[in-house]
Structure 1
Amino acid sequence: MIRRSLAALLAASVVLPVAARAADLEVTHWWTSGGEAAAVAELAKAFDATGNKWVDGAIAGSGDTARPIMVSRITGGDPMAATQFNHGRQAEELVASGLMRNLDEVAAAENWKDVINPPSLLEGCTLDGHLYCVPVNIHSWEWLWLSNQAFADAGVAVPTNWDEFVAAGPALEKAGKVPLALGQQGWQMSGLFKDLVLGLGGKDLYLKVYGDKDSDLAGGADMAKVFKALGDARTLAKGSNVQNWNEATAMVISGKAGGQAMGDWAQGEFQVAGQVAGKDYTCLAGLGGAQYITTGGDAFYFPALEDEEKSKAQEVLAEVMLSPETQVAFNLKKGSLPVRGDVNLEAANDCMKKGLAILKEGNVLKSADELLSPDTTTQLNDLMSEFFSTELTPEDAQARFAELIASAD
């Protein structure tokens, strides 16, 4: 691979695919925070440069809010031209029902199999031998974001792992800080729990529970340690009275909170705020424990359309989303890792470089969204939401978790 500086890469004269006739394509997604909006603007700019037009269909709220709206439109006969889903099985029923178009020809022409890394991303887009989506990034959940200022105010060193973070909780509280910023939504709490499973329990426990659906392990001693840590997290998060994930990130940015367990998309918020990784904030991959990342992230699916012009423009959009230039511009703003293994990210910050190093080592696992059905994911989110909003004991929560894993699909 010929390495070039980021500036040279972005300044290079690139011939992007141009549709025979311009078309307006509505693209739905749930990227509405500051960092997300900056990232999606890069996708829109790249598509508009082909002579077509990106019609932004942002839906406020989380994916849990947006997905039912997206699915309802597609099944109700009012499809958008392209729509975001997370990597995994969220669009499986839509694809099986014949409502999504395959991208086999585009993928073959653009040699996606040769450039997309890891290969499991394309496997997750494939059903019955046909490819139905464009993975645009790798988002990993396994991060603890820490405010250097909050720990300085509390007179304690910035933690290097989860146990040190828990131990610093009293000092943070004494200094008027919320130790752990956490939004009041089930998917955020469930994400924190999965961080603890992998970061404290390790790779084997994670894969056997979520992949093999081993309910004995889910109810066993190793998982009991994870649920104890979840109880610590609940204590640390008391006083975190925000709803959305980016509001929790803002607490860390402002120094009102010590830390937040959140995916690497939080980096976009730190960047918009002008903060510098390693100086203003610290990131711990795997909560400072297991150095693995999961292949969570975002992919775009393309509903089957009768309009020939828009169908051709869909192919152009698919190509543009995976062009090297777009991959660099988009992921630097989003805080995620590119899905192409042949792009130069010399401009990556300290935290992104940690993620790239883990990816280079091959320490990548499938996300829980790829291993569990949407129904099971919803049930687990509901359990975590109940745990953080009630006095449900870790022991009782673990017993119910094991039952859900036993019946998971």
Structure 2
Amino acid sequence: MKSFKAFLTASTFLGAITAAQATDLEVTHWWTSGGESAAVAEFAKAFDATGNKWVDGAIAGGGSTARPIMISRITGGDPMGATQFNHGRQAEELVEAGLMRDLTDVAESEGWADVIAAPSLLESCTLDGKIYCVPVNIHSWQWLWLSNKAFEDAGIPVPTNWDEFVAAAPKLREAGKVPLAMGGQPWQRSGAFNVLMNALGGKDLTLKVYQDKDAEAAAGPEVAKIFAAAADAREMAQGSNVQDWNQATNMVITDQAGGQIMGDWAQGEFQVAGEVAGEDYTCLPGLGVNEIISTDGDAFYFPVIDDEAQSKAQEELASVMFDAKTQVAFNLKKGSLPIRADVDLDAANDCMKKGLTILAEGGVVTSVNQLVSPDTNTQIEGLMTEFFSDTNITPEDAQARFAEIIANAD
């Protein structure tokens, strides 16, 4: 009896320590659409199961709105517990300033490098040999989403590639449909352009322009074809009077639009709406021309906080986000591919299975975010915003400005 009482006393004491260490942790992100909210709830649920509490700090308006707020808080001495950034160089200066936590010990103890499905994304978290973020998914921009009913209403077959989609535009217009849904945010326009670059120009051209910063290639005939295709997209998007990406996705879901160029996060919106891949909508990776996956994605960084309980909770959250079960639950709702190569995805839909197959076969290209600086990205976004908004800007004029940006890119 004495030993049992001692056991109870020790257990109660250890439980009190665990409870004392558990804490609220504010997590900032820009996931506010229906599909995104459903996905982030899986992270919150898994983290809360550790005894800690996820304090949701969602910021509406997308990354371009959220990132400046996040950065201002961190540099201003009011850091959150964890914050989302895209893979690439968005948090580079914060890491160099010593404002982000080193997660190397967590990553090495859990063997992240041994199970990572896209090594370049873990490399994007690494600076001077140390890991500063946890990658949570593989997102690819390289998709064309099509409403099967919109084409049925127009009396034409669902396209199998970009050229067929462009050719179908007049019939869609006659049926009262907007051929191409596109929101007004700058990142949507530049993202669509980069999809055209990858799909129609190919991986080598994309890397020559964005990785090698080859201004001659940017001004050359191959990129001229991309700008001609972008002009087609601009014409097809006329009448798409929405701002947010998920509003444009909803135009496809409700059969008001024929299609949308958007990343695989659009799948989350189709899922929330009860749409079935292959029946209600069709997905064409690489626009049906060049099946390739770009290794975009989301990662979470953990600002340095002088609080032992919060620091411990940060480590627990990083571990939870990379956990195999959490990865499956999150990515099935987010529409992205898991960052781990060792997870069971029997529940994946047709579009996710297409992405997994392409990934397994090595059809991967590094994302533009990883190849150029945020400043260069902002310049390209500005150019594409002007181009898609003003039909008086010719493809030739836009290409000349693009080549100048690439010539001075970092």
What is the TM-score of this pair, normalised by structure 1? Answer: 0.95
Deviations 1:366-389 (A, max 9, x none): 100000000000000000000011
Asked if structure 2 preserves the Cα contact closer than 8 Å seen for 1:19 and 1:50, the reply is no
- Give 1:76's aligned residue: 76
Secondary structure of 1:385's partner?
helix
Deviations 1:132-183 (A, max 9, x none): 0000000000000000000000001100000000000000000000000000
Secondary structure of 1:55's partner?
strand
How many percent of aligned residue pairs carry the same amino acid?
72
Give the whole-Å Cα distance in 1 for the aligned partners of 2:120 and 2:296. 11
- Give 1:63's aligned residue: 63
Shift of 1:290: 1.1
Secondary structure of 1:234's partner?
helix
> Counterparts of 1:6-405 in structure 2 under 5 Å?
21-390=21-390, 391-405=392-406
83 and 157 in structure 1: CA distance in 2 versus 1, 3 angstrom threshold: same
Shift of 1:20: 6.8
Shift of 1:283: 0.3
Give the whole-Å Cα distance in 2 for the aligned partners of 1:68 and 1:279. 40
Deviations 1:169-212 (A, max 9, x none): 00000000000000011100001000100100011101111111
The gaps in structure 1 that reach 5 residues or longer are 1-17
Shift of 1:19: 8.0
Secondary structure of 1:279's partner?
coil
Secondary structure of 1:168's partner?
helix
19 and 327 in structure 1: CA distance in 2 versus 1, 3 angstrom threshold: farther
Asked if structure 2 preserves the Cα contact closer than 8 Å seen for 1:19 and 1:312, the reply is no
Give the whole-Å Cα distance in 2 for the aligned partners of 1:243 and 1:193. 17
219 and 19 in structure 1: CA distance in 2 versus 1, 3 angstrom threshold: farther
Give the whole-Å Cα distance in 1 for the aligned partners of 2:162 and 2:67. 33
Asked if structure 2 preserves the Cα contact closer than 8 Å seen for 1:217 and 1:223, the reply is yes
Asked if structure 2 preserves the Cα contact closer than 8 Å seen for 1:151 and 1:172, the reply is yes
Give the whole-Å Cα distance in 2 for the aligned partners of 1:23 and 1:365. 40
Give the whole-Å Cα distance in 1 for the aligned partners of 2:366 and 2:212. 12
Deviations 1:309-364 (A, max 9, x none): 00011000000000001000000000000000000101000000000001101111
Deviations 1:51-86 (A, max 9, x none): 000000000111000000000000000000000000
Give the whole-Å Cα distance in 1 for the aligned partners of 2:207 and 2:293. 13
Asked if structure 2 preserves the Cα contact closer than 8 Å seen for 1:19 and 1:313, the reply is no
What is the TM-score of this pair, normalised by structure 2? Answer: 0.95
Runs (4+) off by over 6 Å: none
284 and 19 in structure 1: CA distance in 2 versus 1, 3 angstrom threshold: farther
Q: Which amino acid is the alignment partner of residue 36 of structure 1?
A: E
Asked if structure 2 preserves the Cα contact closer than 8 Å seen for 1:203 and 1:290, the reply is no
Secondary structure of 2:277's partner?
coil
Let me know the Cα RMSD of the aligned residues. 0.8
Give the whole-Å Cα distance in 1 for the aligned partners of 2:399 and 2:357. 34
Secondary structure of 2:313's partner?
helix
Q: Which amino acid is the alignment partner of residue 309 of structure 1?
A: A
Give the whole-Å Cα distance in 1 for the aligned partners of 2:77 and 2:339. 32
Higher-Rg structure is 2
Give the whole-Å Cα distance in 2 for the aligned partners of 1:314 and 1:116. 21
Give the whole-Å Cα distance in 2 for the aligned partners of 1:284 and 1:155. 20
Secondary structure of 2:208's partner?
helix
Deviations 1:255-313 (A, max 9, x none): 00000000000000000000000000000000011111111010000000000100011
Asked if structure 2 preserves the Cα contact closer than 8 Å seen for 1:142 and 1:262, the reply is yes
Give the whole-Å Cα distance in 2 for the aligned partners of 1:20 and 1:227. 59
Q: Which amino acid is the alignment partner of residue 270 of structure 2?
A: F
- Give 1:4's aligned residue: none
Give the whole-Å Cα distance in 1 for the aligned partners of 2:283 and 2:19. 42
